[in-house]
């Protein structure tokens, strides 16, 4: 494992070995059975290029009513619990004093991306955000606390983790593109991004 700090983002390259990644994917498959991936739409009605679901007390959703946390999956079912192995990563890299309320799961296909955005829908912004990457490489762009200005990018590979705390907590960030076929950890390809947050 190598730890890098880029623009106050703490990046843990190769944090998870192959065996740990496979275990995590098995846990995620169980989550997806209980809370299937959906294609969210923006408030304007435009479909997003990622598919998403969540685990935990809340799920993060996007539809014509806006961006928000919700108690129920769009199908009306409760969100499954966050798998223990994912919580252990949070405890190791963030804190053991407070568990996250939400684990957002985004699936990126070969043409999917995520524009620059802030994570700011939480009640207490002092808690860091944890990002875990699985599958194909994603080009992660890191910006500033305000729109515009210089940005930097780094390829996140399967098993990498990022902690966004301090100055990085409200920094704009996103995924510019995916490198299809760069990982064989997911049988059908693509990238899974797990984002853990304290909501309340």
* pLDDT tens profile 59-105: 999 999 999 999 999 999 999 999 999 999 999 999 999 999 999 99
Distance (Å, whole) CA 52 – CA 39 = 6
Number of domains into which the chain is organized: 1
- Residue 17 sits in which domain range? 2-197
User: Is the overall model pTM greater than 0.85, yes or no?
Assistant: yes
User: Which among 126, 125, 136, 147 has a CA at the least distance from the CA of 190?
Assistant: 136
* pLDDT tens profile 9-53: 999 999 999 999 999 999 999 999 999 999 999 999 999 999 999
Here the CATH number for the domain that contains residue 164 is: 2.60.120.590
């Amino acid at each position: 494992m190598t730890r890098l700090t880029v623009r106050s983002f703490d990046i843990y390259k190769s944090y998870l070995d192959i065996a740990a990644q496979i275990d995590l994917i098995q846990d995620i498959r169980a989550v997806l059975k209980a809370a299937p991936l959906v294609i969210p739409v923006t408030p304007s009605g435009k479909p997003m290029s990622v598919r998403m679901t969540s685990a935990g007390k809340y799920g993060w959703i996007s539809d014509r009513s806006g961006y928000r946390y919700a108690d129920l999956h769009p199908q009306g079912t409760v969100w499954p619990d966050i798998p223990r192995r994912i919580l252990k990563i949070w405890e190791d890299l963030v804190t053991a004093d407070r568990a996250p309320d939400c684990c957002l799961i985004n699936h990126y296909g070969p043409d999917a991306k995520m524009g620059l955005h802030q994570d700011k829908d939480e009640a207490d912004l002092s808690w860091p955000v944890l990002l875990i990457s699985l599958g194909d490489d994603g080009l992660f762009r890191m910006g500033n606390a305000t729109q515009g200005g210089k940005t930097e990018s780094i390829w996140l590979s399967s098993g990498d983790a990022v902690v966004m705390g301090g100055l990085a907590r409200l920094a704009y960030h996103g995924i510019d593109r995916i490198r299809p076929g760069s990982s064989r950890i997911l049988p059908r390809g693509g990238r899974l991004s797990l984002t853990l947050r304290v909501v309340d």
